[in-house]
Amino acid sequence: MDVVRDTDPDNTLPSSDGLTHLRLDGTAHMVDVSAKDVTTREASASAVVHTTKDVLALLGAGDLPKGDALAVARVAGIMAAKKTPELIPLCHPLPISKVTVDFELGLDTVAILATVKTRGVTGVEMEALTAASVAALSVYDMIKAVDKHAVISGVRVLAKSGGKSGDWSLAEGAP
């Protein structure tokens, strides 16, 4: 049996293509963030659930067969943000300071906005994406009895702030 040895024992060298989660030999590792400065970091992400006008009326009134879907989805999104390092293998556990999950009901969509904040050494984009995704999955779970054709789309980071790379936000009109 071949033994795979750590060719970069300090986990400091990125792969030749610059991917920070890959070492020179191409194997995955958790990035060393111990030398990074602690700063306030925030990220927002979104997801969209597409359904019918009738389902949105039930959703807005809290009259779905399973109950108040938005309240359940909000708590699910908050819990998911806190569990991100358990779900995404190379994410660092972070001291989450704040998580918000908000909903905007459209004609045939539920837009979900998740914002996560921390004071730490690495960003919270993955936590925001996880919160938005799980909130969307929870909405889907709550409405599937009345709409088997619901679709989740548009999961993406909208903005981030803090850290060495600075602030970023999705440009207006971006896909």
Residues carrying an active site annotation: 141
Sign of the CA dihedral with 66 first, then 67, 70, and 76 last: negative
Give the CB-side neighbour count of residue 170, counting CA atoms within 13 A. Answer: 15
**β-pair type (151-161, 168-169):** antiparallel
Burial of 86 (0-12, 13-18, 19+ CB in 10 A): exposed
